[in-house]
Structure 1
Amino acid sequence: MRGTDFKQQLPQPDDAAKAKLRRLLAAGTILPVMNQTKWAELIEAMLGSPQMQPEFRLHSVLAPSGYCTDWDGDWHYHIHPVAEIEWIELRAVSLDWLLSTLRKHNLPFSIEGETPRVWGYTRIGTQPVWC
């Protein structure tokens, strides 16, 4: 599955979550960094390289501060609606492969500790050190 076909199948937030996201955006609380196309490219790249065993954990803009999911490798069913993702951290068998994949797709990411973090949104006063 490629391009727009894949993008159309990304998980979507429910109506209540969409309303919360609109309020956060309108208030300037969150600033978008990613779009549907970039999310589709990221997920497609991870699904296309199962030998690298890519895993993720994420934080939703709708989740309590400090909460993130456990590490998960199920990119088909466990990825949140991407419109809600504040950031997603990634790990794989090869860090070099992971970093080159992120750069190849021009994805907005930073390194937190030793972990690549792709940003869906930033917040006022929080500016990642972009790679």
Structure 2
Amino acid sequence: MNPMLPHAKSVRPGDDRAKIKRVIVQRALCGMANDTKWDEFIDAMRAHEGWKPSYRCKCVDGAPSSWDTEWFYHLPFPMISVEWLDIAFIVEERRNWLVAPEVTDQSEWIEALLKKVGLDYRKGRSMIRIFGYSPRSEDLFDE
């Protein structure tokens, strides 16, 4: 882990871990991920050469985010707040507007990483949802 980059326990100004923990208790959520698993996953995503997948998330105390591709500073730190994190694994490359885009499925290496780290997930048609808590939320999932 690079100590110069944010990690699972990193907080932003105004973040309150105690408030997040209160929401978790109020909603009777059960943790399925921990800081070690999140850090291992994030480090591997940051280190992956070439294409970086888009992601969006939902924190326990907020609305779903929009899609983003920045894996260094835009993640929802601290990760204890993450109810779920979606990762898009379909890549469409258009070389010419007159020809259909070339579609590549990147799910194989992402699933291998998730299994290695031990994060709970579900694969959809175009995205993988990583669950930070149970009960597992299916909101906005692309079955």
TM-score between both structures, scaled by the size of structure 2 = 0.70
- C-alpha distance in 1, partners of 2:28/2:13? 20
The alpha-carbon deviation at position 113 of structure 1 amounts to: 4.5
1:22-60: CA deviation from partner (whole Å, max 9, x where unpaired): 223334521111110001011011101141322211001
Query: Aligned pair in 2 of structure 1 residues 72, 50: CA closer, same or farther (>3 Å)?
Result: farther
Structure 2: gaps (5+ residues): 92-105, 139-143
- C-alpha distance in 2, partners of 1:106/1:120? 12
Structure 1: gaps (5+ residues): none
Query: Aligned pair in 2 of structure 1 residues 122, 7: CA closer, same or farther (>3 Å)?
Result: farther
- C-alpha distance in 1, partners of 2:109/2:129? 15
TM-score between both structures, scaled by the size of structure 1 = 0.75
- C-alpha distance in 2, partners of 1:35/1:62? 18
Q: Which amino acid aligns with 2:31?
A: P
Match of 2:111 in 1: 99
The structure with the greater share of residues assigned to helix is: 1
Which sits farther off after the overlay, 76-85 or 99-108?
Answer: 99-108
Match of 1:58 in 2: 57
Q: Percent identity?
A: 25
Over the residues paired in the alignment, what is the CA RMSD in angstroms?
Answer: 2.7
Match of 2:123 in 1: 111
Question: CA contact under 8 A between 2:23 and 2:61: conserved in structure 1?
Answer: no
Task: Pick the aligned partner of 1:75 from 71, 75, 79.
Answer: 71
1:60-101: CA deviation from partner (whole Å, max 9, x where unpaired): 1110xxx31121111111001111110000124511111111
- C-alpha distance in 1, partners of 2:70/2:85? 14
Q: For the pair shown, which has the larger CA radius of gyration, 1 or 2? A: 2
Question: CA contact under 8 A between 1:110 and 1:117: conserved in structure 2?
Answer: yes
- C-alpha distance in 2, partners of 1:8/1:30? 25
Which sits farther off after the overlay, 82-91 or 110-119?
Answer: 110-119
Aligned pair 1:40/2:39, yes or no?
yes
